[in-house]
Amino acid sequence: MQLDILTIFPQMFEGPFSHSIIKRAKDKKLVEINLHNIRDFATDKHKRVDDYQYGGGSGMVMMIEPIANCIGHLKGKNAYDEIIYMTPDGELFNQKMANYFSTTKRIMILCGHYKGIDERIRENYITREISIGNYVLSGGEMAAIVFTDSVVRLLPGVLNDETSALSDSFQDDLLSPPVYTRPSDFRGWKVPEILLSGNDKIISDWRLERSIERTRIRRPDLLSEQDG
């Protein structure tokens, strides 16, 4: 899979993309992530990327030319399955969408800032608009990092048996059961006896029960929505 991320803050991605699962996926060549600095595509000598909005009002808007130039440059080299704009007024991101995007070959992700981007970019280039939750971030970068992590970990070969995505919370609309490791008794706080029994059938039944119970208590909305 190839991911092209358009941003005015490429350095924000360095830490998150050079550790753990995303780093492993890059090292194994299961994903190629390219960061593109929108400022490199600015047309004036001051490398300006934002401007006042028509009609007045506070807050700057990201200009159409640098973004259109950057998108045009990339579209001239590759065909994209989706061109995503990260925005708080987009479609609410969920596991089902992460599963879908993990099946695509090449996507572009545009990170906005300030009051947003010139609407004509959205009308003419963007195929999907995504929000990661009902709260406001200062820009799309951290949302793009969240999106990338959730998609890349699903690519075949990225996770191994120890880190398998199959038992993730949400993958089957159930939260994960509680987990424990050594010691079995810490200051009198004991691990549930069943987990020490060695009986796989009893253990998997217990885990499913705990998953259902935890989902009913914490996220009853997941039990009623069958396609979320």
Which residues are at the interface with ligand 6GU (CB under 6 A)?
A: 86-88, 130-133, 135-137, 139-140, 143
The least distance separating ligand 6GU from the CB of residue 16, rounded to whole angstroms, comes to 15
CA distance 174 to 166: 11
- Residue 30 or 137: the one with the smaller Cβ distance to ligand 6GU is 137
The least distance separating ligand 6GU from the CB of residue 26, rounded to whole angstroms, comes to 23
The least distance separating ligand 6GU from the CB of residue 178, rounded to whole angstroms, comes to 29
The least distance separating ligand 6GU from the CB of residue 99, rounded to whole angstroms, comes to 19
Q: Which amino acid is at 29?
A: K
117: DSSP letter:
B
- Residue 87 or 215: the one with the smaller Cβ distance to ligand 6GU is 87
CA distance 139 to 137: 5
- Residue 135 or 189: the one with the smaller Cβ distance to ligand 6GU is 135
Among residues 139, 159, 160, the alpha carbon closest in space to that of 151 is found at 159
- Residue 70 or 110: the one with the smaller Cβ distance to ligand 6GU is 110
145 CB-near residues (< 8 Å, 6+ apart): 12, 13, 16, 17
Rounded to 5 degrees, what angle do the CA atoms 176, 86, 100 make?
50
